[in-house]
Amino acid sequence: MGSGMARRLLGAGFPLAIHSRNAEKTAAFQAEGAIAAPSYREAAAHADAVVSMVADDGASRQVWLGDNGALAGAAPGTVLIESSTLTVEWLRALAGHAGARGCQLLDAPVTGTKPHAASGELTFLVGGPAAALEKVRPVLDAMGRAIIHLGPAGSGALLKLINNFLCGVQAASLAEAVALVEKAGLDRRKSFEILTNGAPGSPLVKTLFARMDARDYTPNFKLRLMAKDIAYAIAEGKQHALDPVTAPAALRVFQQAIAHGDGEKDLSAVVEQFRTE
């Protein structure tokens, strides 16, 4: 995701400094015209906007607050854009750290997968100050097709967690449905045409079914990251006096898939645990 976003910025003519834990990725972007910074701190040192796209809260803390973190290098007035799928609690804490530095934070997670990032078709779900959003709107425009401002800090993060838990529940139920069709000996082609073209056939179901049918689990969205997002959503629900039922059930299905050895595959691999029983 981050690679596609960075290439969109380069293609739009933005001067770009990058730092990645993956030295090969850093070298590739340097060859394309980016400045290879030796640390997050130095990548942020001369930037008007700093964008982070990482896996989870722990990685985000390391980017912003770790040794040579980006926040230490950011000048007052810099807008920090956190596009990872993270907890609301951490995003609000990070907004506090940013404010103490004289910076502003936007939580701006995205909907879409790696192909959407590469083609600039992401949708940004933004929480944080409206003035900060307007300041960096051209940056987000270069990477996405839509920018939706949802309210104060944490608003974008919360809706992204809700979005992903709903996707995870659909994926888990689809996996069981596909396995039931196969184990019961129903006509696969006719059954799947009805399921994907009828009422259950959401865009997500159609996309995941095609991958399940082909057994092509090249990662567009890693299965283990969906499990992480569902767990974050469950915790957030409890913060709002909601005791979720479907999310924990879906999480168990994804955790079983990880135990099955499919955590690094595309989330559509969630079906394989049922096929081998």
Taking the C-alpha atoms of residue 179 and residue 277, their distance in angstroms, rounded to an integer, is: 10
**Cα torsion angle, 242, 245, 251, 254, sign:** negative
What's 39's DSSP letter?
S
Q: DSSP for 171-228, please give it.
A: HHHHHHHHHHHHHHT--HHHHHHHHHHSTT--HHHHHHHHHHHHT----SSBHHHHHH
Show which residues are catalytic: 160
Taking the C-alpha atoms of residue 21 and residue 181, their distance in angstroms, rounded to an integer, is: 43
Taking the C-alpha atoms of residue 216 and residue 214, their distance in angstroms, rounded to an integer, is: 5
